[in-house]
Amino acid sequence: MITIRNINKKFGKLSVLNDINLSFKKGQCIALIGPNGCGKTTLIKSILGMVIPNSGLIEFNGKSILGEYLYRENIGYMPQIGRYPDNMTIGQIIEMIKKIRNSNQELDEDLLKAFELEKMFDKQMRTLSGGTTQKVSAVLAFLFNPDVLILDEPTAGLDPLASEILKEKIIREKENGKLILITSHLLSELDDLITEIIFMQEGKVHFHKSIEVIKAETNETKISKAIASILKQKQSKNQNS
Amino acid sequence: MNRIIKIILLDILKNKIVLTYTLILAALSWSSFALEDNSAKGLLTILNVILFTVPLVSVLFSTIYLYNSSEFIELLLSQPVKRRKIWASLFLGLSSSMVFAFMVGAGIPLLINAPNSLGLMMIIIGCLITVIFVALAFLSSILTRDKAKGIGIAIMIWLFFALLFDGIVLFLLFQLSDYPIENFMVGLTALSPIDLARIQILMHLDVSAMMGYTGAIFKDFFGTSSGLVISFLLLCLWAIIPFFISLKKFNQKDL
Amino acid sequence: MRKLIYILLFFCLISNAKTITVGRLYPVKTIKQAIALANDGDIIIVTQGVYKEENIIINKKIKFLGKNFPVLDGQNKAEVLSVAADSVVIKGFKIINSGHAALDDPCGIKVYDRNFVVIENNILDNNFFGIYLQNCKNAVVKNNTIKAYGKQEQLIGNGIHCWKSDNLQIIGNKISGHRDGIYFEFVTQSVIWRNISSYNIRYGLHFMFSNDDSYITNVFKGNGAGVAVMFTKNVKMFNNYFEENWGDSAYGLLLKEISDSYIFNNRFARNTSGIYMEGTSRIKVEKNIFEANGWGMKIQASCMENEIVNNNFLGNTFDISTNGSLVLNTFNSNYWDKYEGYDLNKDGFGDVPYHPLSLFSVLTENNPSSMILFRSFMITLLDKSEKVLPSITPDNFIDNKPLMKSLPL
């Protein structure tokens, strides 16, 4: 569904993405993990067309996204820190996005109801807590039933209850055959969700493996532990060499 | 496109700064027309408003508005909307609301108190100056990510065209006073939208003085219909070129 | 009884004066023939028609009257009407197409060294000179319409040209398209009243060496320059309009080497310069309106002892300018719309003196190109600071009692 070929991106002298090659397919739920500043968010923004790579190609359903915008109809994006116009209310924001998308598709208002946002429709964005803002972001990402969901740190800042609601929603969408891309630091949260893991470090893809392979290789049942053991192996290798 | 412009327009018109700007313009214009029995003083006041206040408010407000709507731009960018469309909508929304504010604040008193070619000229020029400085604000805000720097650039642009440029011209005038520089001077004014605007209004406001001496030379260019057309084209270019540079940069910008 | 006889005798004399009618349907067909037949005191009536008789010379004391404006056509060859007798009256003709020669100045009507000539209600069209009074006394030129189509100063004469004359009355004429509308040289004790002189190539009215004249209630509009008064003294200029005299070195009123004159209650509107003064002395400029001129008054440093009192200066680009720093003229009690002072004691006069000379008018005087910066923000700032602390402009160039309200003129 999404193919990334030889992407490079530099911010000034700093190389943020370094020759990235990846491909994502329908029905996958991919976790994009790695230390802070490894280029996860930049990669996501590149897919969304918000960051323009210095070189390389990103294809969505076989077509390059460079200069395109309509493909974004099929993407729901939940940013790490949602930033919205201060003086608009929740209702206005949702209304505005609906107008801009102008789709006659049926809207997916599951999360809207589950988070009980309708009660706060006339609250201004600037008065909202970080968690509530995240809820709005989540609602917007799922609202138009997109084929691809890109979630940047979705559970950060959410209370456990909301976090659980969101997770369930993600699982349901995965089962609907959607491509889901998640970045997260909290590996333990991803256990029952993901099918593949991409580990990035210093702008490079360290590995891209399916969850079964990783578990088999490390003999661990929990993802977090499996990753930890891979990292340990690496470290010891580095020390030995 | 229309949907986005509508959203932006509604947002700006709700803005208290635009409302205050309109009210201040209106208060200035009405009071200066009411003070004197002839319209000359009122026209002078509005001339100064056009050459001084309108550029300042247009460039400053637009720059700040653009920085403040970075979230909005980001939000729109993750939606299926063309980049070009977002930027153009912002430009159209901002310039049309500023023009609207100018028309309500200064245009209506002008139309009522000076319903002649001079009044009409001042309205058209005021609108053009508004659009030009909105375009310059787009340029200054795309040049840097830092809000403080961007506002600084905007103020510098205004200061340059409102004050420094004329200082340079005056300096050149006296340095080169031994040479026949009139044509050169006419060319030089093309480099400042405020000067272009000012001279076009002068041609109507001080027609008697412009007819004499060197004034006649300026009149020979600016006063003719081809000079008028060229001045207006130049003014339009002053709006179009900065905006297109900014549009190009915005298309390449990482958010 | 004797009285009765005198009266009868008087009537006999009158009826003795015969009337000759000229026209296609009358026995006398040409004007020249009629003049030949006429005696002093006769009346010649010319009926409607076109008369192409080249130069007609009136050498008898006759009344020469046109009925329904008969046309006297000079066919671009000669002077149309020459007057060589006293007390001739010329009335109701349309005189066209005098010759155009540079040497002998052909005219529509020319009067040679005569007294008491009356030229009234004629239409003069496309003549080299319109009406020419040479060495005349007590002549009246009244209600004529004089029009020409001159393009260049050298190729056209003046509308009403008066030379070395005395006691003239130039009243109610309309003149346009000539070199000078009205021209006076060595003319004394004369009056110019209620004329409209517009769109002439050089001056609306031109005075040279003509003392003790007055011109009153005339309109001078759109001429190369309005009125030029040169080398003259004792001229009274009342109630005239000087309008839209525009152009490089154009003035409403040009005063050059003139003294002891009085300029009262005129209106100078939309001229490049309202009044331009050079070598002028002892002139009083009172109760005039200077409105929307480029320069209200340009007073050269060679002027002295002039008084500028009780005028209104409204909406001029510059009220006053001068080329020197010497101030020998007085300004008093004028209204300046640019005055920004206050009047605490409410006596109608501003409490701070007004400096009518702006820094920028001095700048443009030195460097005319700087006009391009006019009304720019920087110039406004400079002007304001100069008003507070005069440094370049002479600090005694002031109106000590500026009026707070404009005079009702």
Q: Is the pLDDT of residue C153 over 90?
A: no
d(CA C130, CA C69): 17
DSSP state of B79: S
In a domain, C273, yes or no: yes
d(CA A29, CA A194): 5
Q: Is A touching C (3+ C-beta pairs, cut-off 8 A)?
A: no
Compare CB distances from A97 to B68, B79, B254 and report the shortest one's residue: B79
Nearest residue of chain C to residue B213 (CA atoms):
C248
Residues C294 and C322 in one domain: yes
In a domain, C37, yes or no: yes
pLDDT in tens, A31-60: 888 888 888 888 988 988 888 888 888 998
d(CA C230, CA C280): 9
d(CA A102, CA C397): 73
CA C81 and chain centroid, separation: 24
Residues C248 and C292 in one domain: yes
Chain C residues closer than 8 Å to B177 by CB: 367, 369
Q: Is the pLDDT of residue C171 over 90?
A: yes
Residues C155 and C240 in one domain: yes
Which chains form contacts with chain B, at 3 or more CB pairs under 8 Å? A, C
Q: Is the pLDDT of residue C381 over 90?
A: no
Q: Is the pLDDT of residue C12 over 70?
A: no
Give which of B6, B70, B78, B251 to mutate to test A binding, by max A Cβ within 10 Å. Answer: B78
User: Bigger pLDDT: B42 or A72?
Assistant: A72
Q: Is the pLDDT of residue B235 over 90?
A: yes
Chain C residues closer than 8 Å to B216 by CB: 247-248
d(CA B214, CA B196): 17
Chain C CB within 8 Å of residue B206 CB: yes
Residue contacts between B and C (CB atoms, under 8 Å): 113
Chain A CB within 8 Å of residue B18 CB: no
Chain C CB within 8 Å of residue B52 CB: yes
Residues C139 and C23 in one domain: yes
CA C323 and chain centroid, separation: 27
Residues C347 and C375 in one domain: no
d(CA C314, CA C327): 23
| Chain C residues 62-81 with CB within 8 Å of chain B | none
Q: For C265, left (φ over 0), alpha (ψ -120 to 50), or beta?
A: left
In a domain, C10, yes or no: no
In a domain, C284, yes or no: yes
Q: Is the pLDDT of residue C13 over 60?
A: no
User: Bigger pLDDT: C282 or C247?
Assistant: C282
Chain B residues closer than 8 Å to C270 by CB: 207-208
Give the relative orientation of helices A130-143 and A90-101 as an angle to the nearest 10 degrees. Answer: 20
Nearest residue of chain B to residue C268 (CA atoms):
B208
DSSP state of B225: H
Q: Is the pLDDT of residue A157 over 90?
A: no
pLDDT at B173: 85
pLDDT at C310: 94
Interface predicted TM-score of the whole assembly (ipTM), two decimals: 0.81
H or E stretch at A56: strand A55-60
Strand C89-91 and strand C118-120: pairing?
Answer: parallel
Q: What is the 3-state secondary structure (H, E, C) of chain C?
A: CHHHHHHHHHHHHHHHCCEEEECCCCCECCHHHHHHHCCCCCEEEECCCEECCCCEEECCCCEEEECCCCEEECCCCCCCEEECCCCCEEECCEEECCCCCCCCCCEEEEEECCECCEEECCEEECCCEEEEEECCECCEEECCEEECCCCCHHHCCCCEEEECCECCEEECCEEECCCCCEEEECCECCEEECCEEECCCCEEEEEECCCCCEEECCEEECCCEEEEEEEEECCEEECCEEECCCCCCCEEEEEEEEECCEEECCEEECCCEEEEEECCECCEEECCEEECCCEEEEECCCCECCEEECCEEECCCEEEECCCCCCCCEEECCEECCCCCCCCCCCCECCCCECCECHHHHHHHHCHHHHHHCCCHHHHHHHHHHHHCCCCCCCCCCECCCECCCCCC
pLDDT at A83: 82
pLDDT at C272: 87
Q: How far is B79 from chain A (nearest CA, A)?
A: 6
Q: Is the pLDDT of residue B160 over 60?
A: yes
Which residues have CB under 8 Å from C326's CB, separation 6+? C301, C394
Three-class secondary structure of residue A124 per DSSP: strand
Residues C323 and C388 in one domain: no
Compare CB distances from B252 to A52, A73, A85 and report the shortest one's residue: A52
Residues C297 and C340 in one domain: yes
Nearest residue of chain A to residue B85 (CA atoms):
A69
Contacts of residues A104-113 at CB distance under 8 Å and 24 or more positions apart, as own/partner, are A105/A144, A105/A145, A106/A145, A107/A143, A107/A144, A107/A145, A108/A142, A108/A143, A108/A144, A108/A145, A109/A139, A109/A143, A110/A142, A110/A169, A111/A135, A111/A138, A111/A139, A111/A142, A111/A143, A111/A165, A111/A166, A111/A169, A112/A139, A112/A143
Q: How far is C150 from chain B (nearest CA, A)?
A: 22
C213 touches C187 (CB < 8 A): yes
How does residue B38 score in pLDDT terms, banded at 50, 70 and 90? low
Tell which residue, A87, A93, A123, A83, has the closest CA to residue B14: A87
Instruction: Burial-class residue C405 by CB neighbours within 10 Å (0-12, 13-18, 19+).
Output: exposed
pLDDT in tens, A19-34: 888 888 888 889 888 8
Compare CB distances from B202 to C246, C375, C380 and report the shortest one's residue: C375
d(CA B41, CA B128): 22
Compare CB distances from C376 to B198, B206, B218 and report the shortest one's residue: B198
| Chain B residues 80-109 with CB within 8 Å of chain A | 80-83
Residue C52 amino acid letter = K
How does residue C9 score in pLDDT terms, banded at 50, 70 and 90? low
Chain C residues closer than 8 Å to B184 by CB: none
Chain B CB within 8 Å of residue A70 CB: yes
Residue B248 amino acid letter = K
d(CA C208, CA C226): 15
Residues C373 and C313 in one domain: no
Compare CB distances from B202 to C246, C270, C374 and report the shortest one's residue: C374
Residues C295 and C362 in one domain: no
Chain C CB within 8 Å of residue B159 CB: no
d(CA A21, CA A17): 10
Which chains form contacts with chain C, at 3 or more CB pairs under 8 Å? B
Give the range among A77-86, C97-106, C120-129, C184-193 with minimum mean pLDDT.
Answer: C97-106
Q: Which tokens belong to C38?
A: 């006429």
Beta bridge partners of C64: C44, C90
Chain B residues closer than 8 Å to C407 by CB: none
Chain B CB within 8 Å of residue A219 CB: no
Residues C155 and C261 in one domain: yes
Residues C388 and C243 in one domain: no
pLDDT at C2: 67
Chain B CB within 8 Å of residue C312 CB: no
In a domain, C4, yes or no: no
DSSP state of A185: S
How does residue B214 score in pLDDT terms, banded at 50, 70 and 90? low
pLDDT at B216: 63
pLDDT at A27: 85
Query: What is the per-residue DSSP string for B236-248?
Result: HHHHHHHHHHHHH
Q: Is the pLDDT of residue B204 over 90?
A: no
pLDDT in tens, C114-136: 999 999 999 999 999 999 999 99
pLDDT in tens, B106-157: 999 989 888 888 889 999 999 999 999 999 999 999 999 899 999 999 999 9
Q: Is the pLDDT of residue C236 over 90?
A: yes
d(CA A221, CA C339): 92
Compare CB distances from C371 to B47, B205, B214 and report the shortest one's residue: B214
B18 touches B97 (CB < 8 A): yes
Chain C residues closer than 8 Å to B170 by CB: 370, 373, 378-379
Average pLDDT in chain A: 85
Structural domains in chain A, sorted by start: 2-240 (3.40.50.300)
Q: Can you list the positions of beta strands (E) in B13-143? A: none
In a domain, C44, yes or no: yes
Q: Is the pLDDT of residue A237 over 80?
A: no
Q: Is the pLDDT of residue B215 over 60?
A: no
Q: What is the CATH number of the domain that holds C204?
A: 2.160.20.10
Residues C80 and C161 in one domain: yes
Compare CB distances from B199 to C273, C368, C372 and report the shortest one's residue: C372
Domain range for C330 is 18-354
In degrees, rounded to 5, the angle at the alpha carbon of residue B80 between the alpha carbons of residues B77 and B82 is 65
Chain B CB within 8 Å of residue A154 CB: no
Query: Phi and psi at residue A142, in whole multiples of 5°?
Result: -90, -15
Q: How far is C214 from chain B (nearest CA, A)?
A: 28
In a domain, C243, yes or no: yes
pLDDT at A72: 87
C371, B173: Cβ pair inside 8 Å? no
A79, B78: Cβ pair inside 8 Å? yes
d(CA A38, CA C397): 77
Residue C289 amino acid letter = I
Tally the domains of chain C: 2
Chain C CB within 8 Å of residue B216 CB: yes
| Chain A residues 1-40 with CB within 8 Å of chain B | 11
B211, C371: Cβ pair inside 8 Å? no
pLDDT at C11: 58
Compare CB distances from C369 to B48, B173, B194 and report the shortest one's residue: B173
pLDDT in tens, C343-364: 898 898 999 888 888 888 888 8
Give counts: helices (H), strands (E), chain A: 7, 10
H or E stretch at A181: strand A179-183
Chain B residues closer than 8 Å to C273 by CB: 212
